[in-house]
Amino acid sequence: MMDIEGIKAILPHRPPFLFVDEVLEISNDRILAKKNVKEDEYFFTGHFPGEPIMPGVLMVEAIAQAGGVMLLRSRRNAIPLFMAIDKVRFRKIVKPGDTLILEVRLVQDRGKVVKITGTAKVNDILACEATILAGIRE
């Protein structure tokens, strides 16, 4: 397990653009992490007033950041950069008070380019899934 301070020691992201709160399980090719979707998240102010919904692109970002924690544990001071996002599907609306469980698996690692696949679930219901190609800048 890893708390927010351990995550911040690995990822270059900082609030309000840090979307991983806790790591539940981690290995070299799989991570299970958590994002608590709080009512005071900055994006709820405009998306949408009176009907707050977490933007889908931020769910994809949360998946990517969880993958970043998994990949950058052994590559300190590196920065992960999106190269491509494929097979993205949004299946469920995510609202304030929900907890996203992020599961990411390493598909391919070519050193400076990695491919991961991930899901974000709320109460075991799939909210988002994506395949991400990322560059790792040392």
Token pair in block for residue 5: 């301070």
DSSP H or E run through 22: strand 22-26
Which candidate in 8, 30, 47, 73 is catalytic?
Answer: 47
**How distant, in Å, are the alpha carbons of 5, 25, 52, 127 from that of 13?**
12, 20, 24, 23
**47 is annotated as an active-site residue:** yes
Burial tier of 18 (Cβ tally within 10 Å: 0-12, 13-18, 19+): middle
Residue-by-residue DSSP string for 77-107: T-EEEEEEEEEEEE-S---TT-EEEEEEEEE
Q: Are strands 125-137 and 113-122 parallel, antiparallel or unpaired?
A: antiparallel
Catalytic residue numbers read 47
